[in-house]
Structure 1
Amino acid sequence: MSKAAIPSTPATPALVVDAAGSSSIWTRITNWVADNKAVAYTVGAVVIVVTSAGAIYYFNSQKGDIKRVGDLPVSDATGERADGSMRKKKKKKGKTAKKDDAQAATAALAQPPPPTIEVEQELPEVTEENVESFSAEERKTLAGKLKDAGNKAYNSKNYNDAIALYTKAILCKPDPIYYSNRAACYNAQSNWAAVIEDTTAAITLNPEYVKAINRRANAYEQTEEYSKALLDYTASCILEQFKNDNAALSVERLLKIVAETKGKKMLEGKPKRLPSPTFVTNYLQSFREKPTPEGLEDATDENTGDYYLNKGLRDIQLKTAQSYEDAANSFEKALELGVSDKYLAFAYNMRGTFRYLKGDSAEALGDITKSIEIDPSMTQSYIKRASIALENSEKEAAVQDFATAITFNAEDPDIYYHRAQLHFISFEYPEAARDYQKSIDLDRDFIYSHIQLGVTQYKQGSIASSMATFRRCQKNFENSPDVFNYYGELLLDQSKFEEAIEKFDKAIDLEKKMKPMGMNVLPLINKALAIFQWKQNYEEAEKLCQTALILDPDCDIAIATIAQLLLQQGKVAEALEYFEKAADLSRTEPEIINALSYAEATRTQLEVQERYPHLANRAMAMPRA
């Protein structure tokens, strides 16, 4: 896919979702960022580094071993040169690499050992008290000799001697290389505080000293000062124009660590709440609508649980943020007061559904399991429990629940539709297509099975079949905004911008006519992306997303899209605010971590601009779409 993310469920357009229809907005945003190179240093959605480097071998006649080195002394333990750089590794695989290494070693053996560094056996004593007694030229010459002696001691792993020699060299000449070399010794001793102190001194003298920046970043990581380490590695990436794959991978690793750490703290005090009405509506619509349980509509006594169970079902029909919140409260109240035995399994199913939507998986799992225990034939409960299992990365448990549901009712089309979702997110497209078709065979009136079949065909590379499926959907479901929205996404993925926008406009018109109280805002956001990709019209794209937020203030995908548009324009501080808001709206730990990863990447870019002003222009000059 080259331009637009492809929808994976009609429950949430353009997002990869699990069998229950829940989703992560970040799948779509990550695809969009990667395709458009939106933020060069945001290492999960847009930067890919591939490097290769040669190696030099020499034979140590004293020790009789072969070492791989660069142009400076190297530590066996760390692979670092004394000036702080890492020796380069040539990436090869299998027998070819071994053969080449052996040939290189043989060639090295045939060569005389490299010339040794001649260092005076006796160097004058240098102290703080007598250093000024030497002339400037003498101090310069002496500093070089002390550094060479320090390198020799470093290579012999006599780190304390090396530290003493580098310290004297610094007294003669405060050179960033000498500080970095001494930091290499402290690094070998795991004296991280000293490493940070010396590398900071080196960076102060030379703000673009990449080796010192990388070494300090490593020390910060060792002391669990992850945000500082992330900042240094990011600066290093910018200085080296993202050609150092080790630094780039470190940024990726630290982004995850920082996001996970902050995400866990955020979850500790985060109140459980429903996501946006768009999300809730799309999730509920991923199940075929069923009639109200017989007799429940007659429950009019406000002192009974049956009344509140019925009220919750009525609240759902309004499809607004407040009505969904009312529904959640009604289902809680129903079970508190107690419902009739014939409705009990259904009541636990509905309360578990809204607890799941709030991100309270443990409580939701308890309710759904209770529902199954009361009525093992309620297949929808197995489907929803499978959703929870998938969210917890328990695929086998989900597969088992689908299989059990089929034993109770092999003719329930919802089972096959949601099992197809499981296959879809597992990239098992042939299996997904079969289940979507089975769902259609059992109920041809459920639009989302048709849509998802078309999307799966597209994913399989059968573009002609996919387009034919959507043309049939357009004809048979001419009043469905979802058909036009998804069709537009596939056209956008093919860079057919005008046709895509036409479909999005049709979807928007139908949404306004059919759902004035609870309009699905995703066609607005899709249109924004189309306009941006086609004409680079930031203003119009952002305006459409802001309109979406007026209609649905908690629409996380609109917020994340605006954040990316702001980053594209170099408005880093404003983008950070939106990313943080997106994280606050996320409902589950994985969603929060993904959102915070973007927020931390953006925050780091802002800090680079503030702390390293000389790098700001370079960061902004990195390739963009």
Structure 2
Amino acid sequence: MHLLMLCACQDFSRMPGELGKWSSRFLLFTPLVFPLCEYIKTKMIDRSMLEAMQTLEAAELEASKNEPEMPGQGAGAIGISPEMSSLCAAINYKKDGNDCFYKRRYVEAIDLYSKAIEKCPKEHTEQLAIFYQNRAACHQILQNWTQVKKECAKALEYNHRYAKAYYRRARAYEATSDLEKCLIDITATCLLEDCRNKETIKLRDSGKKKLATADAKRRMDNLGTALPSKRCIPPLRGLLRAHRAFIEERFEDVISACTEEIESATEADSQYKLQALFMRGTLHLLCGSTHESRRDYMAVLANLSAYDNLRIYTQVRCAMYDSTIPYLDIPNA
């Protein structure tokens, strides 16, 4: 091959000008270029393979953190231990249970999760917590709330920081109106999730409101029936105080209470004012103060808005001590 290249170089060297020189140089360096290209190509392929192998190893390492290596896979599959075999079988049952769950075959999923729990070695607490929590999810959809609480309690025995188990049990407590325990579990969920889950925060706020309402209702029921204290009832004023004083025979307070009503009454309370005038006039009459009594009675009779019965009673009282009071016409009397 080199002989042919030399011959070719001699032929090109005979060509006139620069063309012959460049052609001879090209032919001389060609045997060096091809091996160099092959070497660079080989190095690039080796580097790509290395990167791919590193990526694959990283993926396998990440997968090994979550699930153990299955029988028949990997370098150590031939000498797999009985404990690892049981764990792999349990995980297979869990995967089948997940398939049934997504297909809405919840009873079958519960049975498969139960088999996973039976197969799983007790040392693998995190896996057992997942199996119990998955079984609780099936019972939640079937609304078996008592079973949901039991399954979540078992899951928390194996993993006491399992936020999903706390949240699912809180839902069960809410459904059964056990609001205090619901609030405890949902608060634990918020702490474990750093209050980042909106659904969890929403359930916590709703639980607080329901618990406060139920507590207030329970307190009101326990109080029973009782008369309010004097601090809760405002003191009687005006005509009401006059009536109370008259019933209790505290006659010395009647005149002052009627005066309070007469002086504070507005146009809307004109009828109360007329009744206060009539009562004060009656007390003045009983006390022998005929002048004050006549003044109050005349004020009642002069007011055309007074009720007919009140005007009649006023005229009767006036006739008891003074026949000089003129008779006033009463409409529809």
Q: Which TM-score band (shorter chain)? A: 0.3 to 0.5
Q: Which has the higher helix share?
A: 2
TM-score of the two chains, using structure 2 as the length reference: 0.45
TM-score of the two chains, using structure 1 as the length reference: 0.25
Which structure's relative contact order is higher, taking Cα pairs within 8 Å and 6+ residues apart? 1
Structure number with bigger Rg: 2
